[in-house]
Every structure is written in structure tokens, then in C-alpha cells.
Structure 1
């Protein structure tokens, strides 16, 4: 099995709570908050752990919040290597309105990086990764990290023959899709894909066509686009597939963590030598399991295996 290293440049301590009703003006009395380690790569590593696998989380941390984050990870027995940065690791909070069930998510920006920190991080990641390993760059970039960081990381990892899975958004995603960097996998959601395509992607074929164009231009070897409750589409030079999930809407509790659960299950399957198509099904089942859990909770192995047979895989 290939080693998996997840990278989180902008981690967070995720707080989740609930109030009877969210209204402007008065103080809102919250329930006792639940604290979880958060950030894209961290949640991918946690999902892999919950599914019975193992990975190492490379985490950039600073200050008291960073120390708390590492304690939370240690309590979950997630293996990690910490990279020290100046400034305090951010926090985020998810508040559920008890009267409607709607969830409001507030995310802080994180500490500002400088050029020296970026260079040091690249060297530290290269030292931490194993030969022929699978590397997952997931989550937002801190302020000050250059938009071409995924491309720089891809070049650094080439020396160790590693496969890079990129799950990013915003300006870094736009920059990546304008070049032929060619990481192993590029993942995005439907909103990000429509923003890049500058048109609605209403049908699965529309999504597959857009992903096919990215593959043809050398943006990535494999492109995965999540279509919300409809599942995910995978495209590479060999074909186009869609895997849909069947989750009773009444069971949907929170969408937080669905994408990270997908990535964790997908990468674990790939690291074990499974086909990309099977990995797509595993990821879809994990995302389905995650939406049935509250707050910032992720998937678990029992639910994933129970939902896997109900995931409908088809060619486009």
C-alpha cells in the first residue's frame, strides 16, 4: 500500500454548536460547543483513520490554537507532522439554528505567510513524503501563499515520483486550471466548476464535457467534479464515469465533511491499488455517510460499507 501524506496549510479548530433560533440583536445562548481538528487535509487524514486506514497529516500550526489543534489530533490517534508558522492557527464555527435546522458557517482567514515560510514548507513536505507516495493537498491557502503553490509542490514531488491529489478552490484553483501542471487528480465541486466554465453545468454530460476539456489541456490526469446530492463525476483519458448516491433526504443532517470524506476514501482505495472507478464508488459512499452525521463529524467505516452497494456507477 502506498503511503499517504495529507497537507493542510491553513488548518483550523472547528467549533460546532446550536442555538434555539438565529436572530439579529439579542445575545444568542449557545449549547456547549464541540471542538474538532479541521482543515481539508486534516479531515482527509481523519476520514482515512475512521475508515481503518493510516496516513500522515502535514500541518502548518502556530500559537495556542495550533497547540490545541495538535492535542485534538493526538486524542484521535491521527499521525501528524507539525510545521511551525508565525501567527495563530485560525478557528471556525458552525452554528445550527434549532428552529429551522439551517447551519451557518463562519471561517477565519488564518495567519499571513511570507516567502521564506513558503520555501521552508516546500522543503519540509519533500522531506516528509515517501518515494512513490500519494500526496493530498486539500483546503484553502493562507494569506501570502502564492497562487501557484500547487504547481510548485507538484514539481518538488516529481523528484520522489509521487502522485499529487489537489482539492482547492478560489483563486488557486483558477490559476491551476490555466496551466498544464498535470497533477494526478484535481477535484472541485459543481459551483467551482460552473464558475470556471462560466456556464451552468446542468446535466452530468455537461459536467463530463467540462472535465474532459481540462484533461485534454493537461490541467490534470484525472478530474473529479462533485455534483452535490447527485454524486461525483470522474474523467480521464480512458473514459468518463458518474457515481450517484442514494441518501434519504430525511437522513441528511450536515454537508460539512462530505467532500473530505470522499477524498479520504478515494485516496485510501487508490493507495491500496484499487481501480479509479472503484475508488470513485468508495468516495461516493463515504460522502453519503458523512452527510448523515451531525456538525463537523465525518464518515465511519460501517456506514460507508452499508451504503456502497446503493451507489450507482455508470459511464457517461
Structure 2
């Protein structure tokens, strides 16, 4: 007889060594050489892993976010994330936490995103990040290492996180690009979430068409570099490759306002549903729902739980009826 008690959720730890204080605003025209009067501005605590934790919490999950913080921007960052009541461990650094800014051009609907370089971390600082990860890793749970590496941090940093995860019986998920991604894949991880461009750069090619996308994602699984590859394709949906085969899902029709944070929201919902004991297909539908819900929000705002659950239910109904998402 099946156990009627719900399966306890496995814990989720996130790591962000290059967080960003996200500033967003809007102006009528972006014109070189002119002062551009902007509207109201918005501040959010951004960065891959932190955004994952923020969305996991919004969707009812348990999470702990480890991140670096320094200087006046780091203090502002702390206050913002504490206001959201996300459980955190902050690693103090000497440099200033970086800022990113996004400008929406209201007359055209175009969005301009400026991603600044992070502060240089000392060896003592990035090693402290690893030590906190080792102390906090949930046995049987998940560690999501996400975002760019700031100056001073070695390319194999995420590979080191993967080794720690393996040693502690946790599953490592990496969302990165370039050398950091390559080093992590050489070590072997549970899941990676590249975009089409990032995966193409990894293989030194341009992925054009469904066949090349699937082949590239499946190659990482076949080589043992990752047990699962969640390839995000923007408005074309996502592909999930694993030993059990290939899943492909289109996005639901939504009005796109801003793509900032969509990939982080996708990853957050995916790992949360896995941690709740859901299947890969169910987790993928939740991920696409969360990414789609985020693009409907303005500027750097992330998804809302009610909208994610509405889209997720819609995708689940389509799947039950054998109708592909459009």
C-alpha cells in the first residue's frame, strides 16, 4: 500500500560569487551624446544563484543562498534580500558588490542591458565561499552554482564545487558559460542549463536548428559531462537531454515585457520540482512556466507564484491531453 505521507522536500543551496545590485529604469529614446530623462527606477538583488533562491522561496520551497557582499552596494544588496526574507549566508569581501542596469526604451519596446564587471576577489575570499558551501551542503539535496565568476576566481571554481557536492552526496547544478562551464563539465555535474549561444560556444560552433541543438545537448550526456542538460531557447522553449531521452517543450503564449531573470526562474522551478520528487517532464513544464511568467513582468522583477502555477497547470493539461504547448 503506498505511503500517504508527502515526500519531504530535499533542500536547495545556491551559490553566487558575483551578485549584482540590479538597477532598472525607462526612457523614451536612447540617444548617443544626449541627456536622457528617465522614469522611476527600481532596485533588486540580482545574480544567478540569488535569483534562483528568491524564486524557489516564492514558489514555496526551502533554500539557503550563499553570496558575496562588499562596500556600500553590498550593504544595499543585503538590505534588499533580507527584506524578502530569503535565508542567506553573506561572505564579506573588500571590493564593492557590482551593479548592473537595464534601460527600457518606451517608444520602441527595446531593452538595453549593461552588465558590469565584478570586484576582484582574493584567494582567501573565494576559498571562504567554498568552505561555507562545504559546511552547508545538504546530503541528498542540491547545490546550484550560478552566474559569472569575478576577477581573481579561478576558472575551475565550479568544478571544485562539483567535487565538494560529490563528496557530500549532493547533486551539483551549474549555470555558467565559457571556461567556467567547460571546467565544470570536465569534472562532471548533475545538470547544466546553457542557452543556445552558450552551448554553441562550448562546442565552438553555431547551433542552428532543432537537430544540432538536440545533438549538442545529448553529446554532453553521452560523454558523462552532465546527467541532464536543460537547453533554454528563449521564445522557442527548451530541450532537456538525459539518459532517458530527449524532451522538448514550447513556451505558452505570453506578452513579453522583460527577459531579465527568466533563465534563473526557469532553473529555480526545475530544481524545486525535482526536490519535491516530481518527474523530469513535470519539472520541465514548471521551469518553462516560471521562465514564461518572468518575461511578463517589468524590468528586473521576477515571477509571481500565482502566474507560475496558472501556466504550469495549463502546460500539464496540454500534456495530459497530448497537445504540445504553443
Aligned to 1:267: 271
Matched-pair contact (CA < 8 Å) for 1:92–1:108: yes
Q: Is the 8 A contact 1:245 1:310 kept in 2?
A: no
Q: Is 1:75 matched up with 2:79?
A: no
8 Å CA contact retained: 2:273, 2:283: yes
Residue 290 of structure 2 aligns to a residue whose secondary structure is: helix
Is contact 2:274-2:280 (8 Å) kept? Answer: yes
Q: Matched residues in 2 for 1:51 and 1:204: separation? A: 31
> Given the alignment of the two structures, is residue 128 of structure 1 paired with residue 132 of structure 2, yes or no?
no
RMSD: 1.5
Asked if the contact 2:220–2:226 (Cα under 8 Å) also holds between the matched residues in 1, the reply is yes
> What SS does structure 1 have at the residue aligned with 2:22?
strand
**How many Å apart are 1:128 and its aligned residue?**
1.9
| Aligned counterparts of 2:127 and 2:211: Cα–Cα separation in 1 | 41
Matching residue within 34, 40, 46 for 2:42? 34
Give me the whole-angstrom Cα distance separating, in 2, the residues matched to 1:175 and 1:160. Answer: 20
Deviation of 1:309 after TM superposition, in Å, equals: 4.0
**Which stretch of the first structure deviates more once superposed, 23-32 or 113-122?**
113-122
Q: Which residue of 2 aligns with 1:11?
A: 19
Q: Which residue of 2 aligns with 1:85?
A: 93
Identify the residue that residue 3 of structure 2 maps to in structure 1. none
Structure 2-normalised TM-score?
0.91
Q: Equivalences for 1:211-230 in 2 at 5 Å? A: 211-230=217-236
Whole-angstrom CA distance in 1 between matches of 2:314 and 2:214: 22
Question: Is contact 2:237-2:288 (8 Å) kept?
Answer: yes
Q: Structure 1, residues 72-94: CA drift from partner, whole Å, max 9, x if none?
A: 01111111111111211011110
**Matched residue, 2:65:** 57
Asked whether the equivalents of residues 204 and 242 of structure 1 are also in contact (C-alpha less than 8 Å), the reply is: no
Q: Equivalent residue for 1:197?
A: 203
Query: Which of 112, 117, 122 matches 1:109?
Result: 117
Q: Which residue matches 1:95?
A: 103
Aligned pairs, number = 310
Q: 1:310 offset after TM fit, Å?
A: 4.0
Cα deviation, 1:52-87, whole Å, max 9, x if unaligned, reads: 222111111111111111100111111111111121
- Residues 240-259 of structure 1 correspond to what in structure 2 (within 5 A)? 240-248=246-254, 251-259=255-263
- Structure 2 residue 213 is matched with structure 1 residue 207: yes
1:153 and 2:153 matched: no
SS, match of residue 229 in structure 1? helix
Q: Are residue 289 (structure 1) and residue 297 (structure 2) matched? A: no
* Among 168, 181, 187, the residue aligned to 1:173: 181
> Does structure 2 conserve the Cα–Cα contact (< 8 Å) formed by 1:241 and 1:277?
yes
Q: Secondary structure at the match of 1:83?
A: strand
**Cα deviations by residue, 1:166-207 (Å, 9 ceiling, x for unpaired):** 001133123334x2x221101100111222233333333321
* Correspondence for 1:301: 305
Secondary structure, aligned partner of 1:184 = strand
3-state DSSP class of the match of 2:60? Answer: coil
Residue ranges of structure 2 left out of the alignment (5+ in a row): 1-8
1:23 aligns with 2:31: yes
Q: Distance in 1 between matches of 2:261 and 2:217?
A: 23
**1:146-166 Cα deviation digits (max 9, x unpaired):** 111111111112222001110
CA–CA separation in structure 2 for the residues paired with 1:55 and 1:151: 22
Please identify, of 189-198 and 57-66, the stretch whose mean Cα deviation from structure 2 is larger.
189-198
- The unaligned stretches of length 5 or more in structure 1 are none
